[in-house]
Amino acid sequence: MPRATGPTLPDTLPGAPPRPDAVDFERVRERALGAYLGLAVGDALGATTEFMIPAEIRARHGVHQNMTGGGWLHLKPGQITDDTQMSLALGNALLEAGGMDPHCVARHYLAWMAAKPVDIGHTVRRGLVRYRALGTVEAAYSPHAAGNGGAMRNLPVVLATLGDRAAFVEWSLAQARVTHNHPEADAGTLLLGDLTRQALLLGGEAPVQTLIRTWTEAFPAFDPRRFRGETDGYVVHTARTVLHFFTNTFDFESCLVATVNQGGDADTNGALAGALAGAFYGPDAIPGRWLKRLDPNARRAIEGQVDALLERFPPCPRRAVTPAGSP
Ligand SMILES: [Mg+2]
């Protein structure tokens, strides 16, 4: 399969090694919930401003900061789109197969497409049509496959591989390449997944700036200092946008509001910023007015899947509970 220009993945993943000794199961569970609810909230919030430019958003909404639905897809307030739905499909595939089986993942993606989702990206559709026709689980390399579709749905893999960094890399690439085969798509999926992974393990202690520096030394294009407001679905622009707003804000709400008011691919940018910020700041940082409006079926599915993934793929040993009355 031809591999054209673009960065190749390093042998070892840049960034800090995981610190399983510093991991507390209950804290990780909380942060995992924060990340997944953050993903869905960012998706639903951003869908309103998808494909708009900042001036249009200002003219129509002032500052877009409430779950109003609408947008080009005419959504209900709190309605989620492909970003959250494909994540749930991936998580269900991991649970069904008990690990990474790309055929199982592709079948779940295909079932999602067959149910006529409200939105689907071009590269995703092309990849799933190929799987349906040929049964191959890896898309052929395409210079047009550097989109953010693999990155946007990768959170369940991150949650299922918290205890195993090699599996994180392998499973992330396996699920992403069902539809996207491009070195930048690979790198963006791993970069955003790795940052979220470290935030899940270490919360607000995660050395985000160091990680971003290390990652962008290996992949300079992703450096958020190069952010110039481009918010199309190109994974390099997606990563820059998410990292720019995450590193220039100080809480979950301001990170998400800034991200979605940039418009463009606002639902995916919102979803990825929401997952990272939700892991970093925790679920209590997500504004209640957003959670209240979030589609209740999506919320239930997320809560169930977080517990199921962490139960099936434990990030660390659970602490022994000291029996009552013991010294
Ligand atoms: Mg979407």
Taking the centre of ligand 1 as the mean of its atom positions, its distance from the CA of residue 188, in whole angstroms, is 17
* Residue 3: pLDDT band with limits 50, 70, 90: very low
Q: Which neighbouring-strand residues pair with 147?
A: 234
Taking the centre of ligand 1 as the mean of its atom positions, its distance from the CA of residue 102, in whole angstroms, is 22
Task: Give CA 228 to chain center in angstroms.
Answer: 22
Taking the centre of ligand 1 as the mean of its atom positions, its distance from the CA of residue 123, in whole angstroms, is 13
Taking the centre of ligand 1 as the mean of its atom positions, its distance from the CA of residue 103, in whole angstroms, is 23
CA distance 176 to 192: 13
pTM surpassing 0.85? yes
Which residues fall inside 5 Å of ion ligand 1, going by CB? 81-83, 267
Q: Residue 273 contacts by C-beta under 8 Å, 6 or more apart in sequence? A: 42, 241, 242, 245, 246, 255, 256, 259
Concatenating the DSSP letter of every residue in 95-148 gives: HHHTS--HHHHHHHHHHHHHT--S---HHHHHHHHHHHHH--SSPPP-TT--BS
Give me the half-sphere count of Cα atoms (radius 13 Å) on the Cβ side of residue 159: 34
Q: Which has more confidence, 188 or 13?
A: 188
Identify the structural domains of the chain with CATH numbers, from first to last.
23-312 (1.10.4080.10)
- Burial of residue 54 (CB within 10 Å: 0-12, 13-18, 19+) is middle
pLDDT (tens digit per residue) in 223-250:
999 999 999 999 999 999 999 999 999 9
Q: Which of 255, 262, 238, 226 is nearest to 154 (CA)?
A: 238
Taking the centre of ligand 1 as the mean of its atom positions, its distance from the CA of residue 263, in whole angstroms, is 12
Taking the centre of ligand 1 as the mean of its atom positions, its distance from the CA of residue 38, in whole angstroms, is 14
Taking the centre of ligand 1 as the mean of its atom positions, its distance from the CA of residue 47, in whole angstroms, is 7
What is the pLDDT averaged over residues 114-137?
A: 96
CA distance 48 to 12: 39
Taking the centre of ligand 1 as the mean of its atom positions, its distance from the CA of residue 327, in whole angstroms, is 53
- CB–CB of 67/49 below 8 Å? no
Taking the centre of ligand 1 as the mean of its atom positions, its distance from the CA of residue 39, in whole angstroms, is 11
Q: What percent of the chain has pLDDT over 90?
A: 85
| Phi-psi map region of 74: left, alpha, beta (phi>0 left; psi -120 to 50 alpha) | left
Q: For tokens 């899940």, what's the residue?
A: 200
What is the amino acid identity at position 198? Q
